[in-house]
Structure 1
């Protein structure tokens, strides 16, 4: 699975500051909240946000600008961004946009309000980092075939859906319903206690070895494509009914993943790419009150990159 760096554009603090600025108007001294007879003004709020989050927010905005400018230089298209977003969802086994954003928010700490914002703040920068980091990487067909021969047992991937319930008895009943012609997707939506996948017809997407619990993985990898488990599979989460819908086993089927894996081994580290971008950017601090903030960021970047 490709590793994404979701720390690129954590600009929630910056967005918060911007939203509190009342579309550019000056913060006022009028009370917005009163607590035990003492008022808190919009200016108090702005001052507190600036003191606690201002430096991080400013540097994230600077970084976002540098990344967006580089995306234009590299001519990264909307089509590329959309395709990368689709690939992200496939890797997480989630098709619904809102559900994907919720999952990313819960597991990665990413705070965005819309797909458009996620693409702009995270997906496009990811493409910039990937392209710059792999510019000098050249993976040959021979290297990919050798890698496949050495690792083909571990490279195999399974595409599956599941229905998760609490009791073995309920799982047995569902298997009988499926054998009688019931639709797997409908039962997943109606009865699966894994609500995240249930909303997507129980789909989990493709996964490799070591990504699922041992019992689930063993059952799924030993099933034929287009088959449903004849018996419930018990894990610590409950009882699963598994539907295997696809497999990738051949070199041709796994070629893209092999290329990604070899490129990832050779390409420059994402944080290193970001640091070099920031060091080479033309950044001028026009207000001396903020000079230390940006200098601190630049020095930190240089130190972490070994400059």
Structure 2
């Protein structure tokens, strides 16, 4: 049996441990302040000194150990991929992401609303470090270009919602029974087959406001991301093909169009990160095994006994326990 696992934090687009304490509360991130040489004694007085150890003890072993584990992994991965990943290129990519999110002011507002104790510069640094973790998992999970392409489809849809008995239709939507919604979807399909523009019809008629505002586009949809009937229908279509019958889901009736996917090669790095995100959430034990292998590769030793014990108990495998699990007869002993 493996030791207990602390929660993996997957937030703000970051995959990794990202400085959360054992109870799930985020530790304040100060990476944007740069390196500071604090020294051992932080304050002195007639009453005695305040030392770095005093501050660390105030924070608590769990938080200090978690931060130590995280920063060790970050440092090792940045060294491992120092020749393969160019920080300037990665930073330019992150700056582009921020522009697509509405710019730094918009991101700052988002961070404030989430009460994340992270400013924009810290967010950029976290995103940079996340790129190194992503690259490690892409290698370890052996995610190929072919697998990435097969795992996604470019999709658009028009949704016709169904209003159940006793419910009121959302503002701006027409209250339709199941039969009426299907009939409307069939009529829209006929209009499309007669030459109507999908984007214009999605904008005007779709009951999914998010995609309707984007001409019906959902972008690249990963397996497991959508409800099963929708996913099955989308992944059965050929590029540029549209469903000829309405697809029923819990949300209503969908008319689904698969995109031509002409720019999929440009999206592969993003798709691979999505796959990594999914694998990390599905297999936390495997993730921590990979991290342990990385620490072994770099001969990492946690010098403080309390920190080492916490990290081993919380994040790393107990090899003896794993051996016992694989060979249960050893635990029973000879009769």
Q: TM-score, normalised by structure 2?
A: 0.47
1:166 aligns with 2:161: yes
User: Matched residue of 1:243: which SS?
Assistant: strand
**Cα separation, 2, equivalents of 1:224 and 1:277:** 41
The unaligned stretches of length 5 or more in structure 2 are: 1-8, 44-54, 108-115, 163-180, 263-271, 280-285, 324-335
Task: Give the Å deviation of 1:278.
Answer: 1.7
Please list the CA deviations of residues 92-151 of structure 1 after superposition, one character each: whole Å capped at 9, or x if unmatched.
Answer: xxxx668xx9xxxxxxxx9987774454232222213444676xx9x9xxxx9xxx9xxx
Of residues 216, 220, 224, the one that matches 1:205 is: 220
The answer to whether the Cα contact below 8 Å between 1:160 and 1:243 also exists between their aligned partners in 2 is yes
Tell me the number of residue pairs that the alignment of Structure 1 and Structure 2 aligns. Answer: 229
Structure with the largest fraction of helix: 1
Instruction: Pick from 10, 13, 16 the counterpart of residue 17 of structure 2.
Output: 10
- Equivalent runs, 1:145-160 vs 2, <5 Å: 158-160=153-155
1:165-203, CA deviations, whole angstroms, 9 ceiling, x for partnerless residues?
314155456446645765433554565444554555422
CA contact (8 A) 2:245 2:255 kept: yes
Provide closer, same or farther for how the CA distance between residues 297 and 78 of structure 1 changes in structure 2, counting only shifts above 3 A: same
Alignment of structure 1 residues 277-288 onto 2, 5 Å: 277-281=294-298, 283=300
Q: CA contact under 8 A between 2:62 and 2:310: conserved in structure 1?
A: no
Where does residue 85 of structure 2 map in the other structure?
A: 76
Confirm or deny: 8 A CA contact 1:67 1:128 kept in the other structure. yes
Query: 1:297 and 1:57, CA in 2 relative to 1: closer, same or farther beyond 3 A?
Result: same
Per the alignment, do residues 272 and 189 of structure 1 end up closer, same or farther by CA in structure 2, a change over 3 Å counting?
A: farther
Report the Cα distance in structure 2 between the residues aligned to 1:81 and 1:119, rounded to whole angstroms.
Answer: 9
d(CA) in 2 for partners of 1:118 and 1:186?
Answer: 39
1:11–1:216 distance in 2 versus 1, CA, 3 Å: closer
Match of 1:58 in 2: 68
3-state SS, counterpart of residue 239 of structure 1? strand
Match of 1:293 among 307, 320, 330: 307
Instruction: Point out where structure 1 has 5 or more consecutive residues left out of the alignment.
Output: 28-44, 90-95, 102-109, 149-154, 249-256
Aligned counterpart, 2:240: 226
Residues 204 and 70 from structure 1, CA distance in 2 versus in 1: closer, same or farther, beyond 3 angstroms?
same
2:240·2:260 contact (CA, 8 Å) conserved in 1?
Answer: yes
Aligned partners of 2:232, 2:308: CA distance in 1, in Å? Answer: 52
Which among 122, 125, 133 is matched to residue 125 of structure 1? 133
